Chains A and B, each alone.
Chain A
Amino acid sequence: MVLLSAQRWIRSRLTDRFWRVQEVLKYARHFRGRKNRCYKLAVRSVRRAFVKSTKARREKKRILRALWITRIEAASLEHGLKYPAFISNLLKSQVELNRKVIADLAIYEPKTFKSLAALAQRRRQEGFLAALGDGKEPEGIFSRIVHHY
């Protein structure tokens, strides 16, 4: 018999199934149970792991900000100020440090944090006097706004 059309007898075969499977299993090697060995279970677990990590990257920013706020609150309570008073008075005295840096200062530079708390307390008192006195007494020194032109 003469095979007139030889091309029809060659079918394509999947030859790199091993590497395609390893691509998925390499992300599942540290999982618990059969999902670190069996491909069918691993595919589902790896997919869930990727989706959770993408969502967690957005949540991480919120979690870290809440952590910094808790730490700043604890540190300012040690100096006799509450967190909203501390932050609002710092912003009113034109000190634009963000919560990450203030939390780091509260941990590693206690003297600097104490001076920031004293600044906020003084600005708070000047605010009270300005609100109660209605402008007859001299304005506070720490409430002066610095203009950079």
Chain B
Amino acid sequence: VAKTSLTSPPWPEVKLPDPVEEAKYHTEVVQKVNKMIATGQYGRLFAVVHFASKQWKITSEDLIMMDNVLEAECGDRIRMEKVLLVGADDFTLIGRPLLGKDLVRVEATVIEKTESWPKINMRFWRRHNYQRKKIIVNPQTVLRINTIEIFPCLS
């Protein structure tokens, strides 16, 4: 039968690779990455961490400043759970949405707890004799990320 413009649908045909072969390929990749982690063939690790209702992309020896109070004294070591992504030069581990606690370990230390610079909040309506001025000072906490470690427990 001759091919016209209506023989095949206008969208491109989508073919997925063979599931059996794909499963074999997936197990191979997982074993390779596990071996790389076990032997330690990675350079600097970076991680994406959900902390203080914000997401941060962090490496080791990193400084982080939060705009709120942390209930920990200066010099306390903190372990950050809720890791969303960990990566190195050759591989990345993407969590759906979080990675397991037995897979990644992110340690941080509280360095200083200060206040922010005095921010000025001013409201003014012209011709109505209305102006309000308020000085807002937020407490801030500075953390230093000490280490990011991964363990070879992929499956």
Q: Which residues of A contact B (CB under 8 A)?
A: 47-48, 50-51, 53-54, 57, 93-98, 100-101, 104-105, 108-109, 111-112, 115-116, 119, 125-126, 128-129, 138, 140-141, 146, 148
Contact = CB atoms under 8 A, between A and B. Distances in A.
SS of A interface (majority): helix
A50 B22 CA distance: 60
Contact of B16 (A47, A101, A126, A148): A126
A97 B121 CA distance: 32
B154 to A, nearest CB: 15
**Chain B interface: which size bin?**
20 to 34
SS of B interface (majority): strand
B98 to A, nearest CB: 7
6 contacts: A51-B123, A54-B122, A94-B96, A101-B57, A101-B85, A111-B92
Given A98-B55, A138-B19, 7 more contacts: A47-B122, A50-B120, A51-B123, A94-B96, A97-B84, A109-B46, A129-B14
B7 interface: no
A138 B119 CA distance: 58
A95 B96 contact: yes
A115 B14 contact: no
A126 B19 CA distance: 12
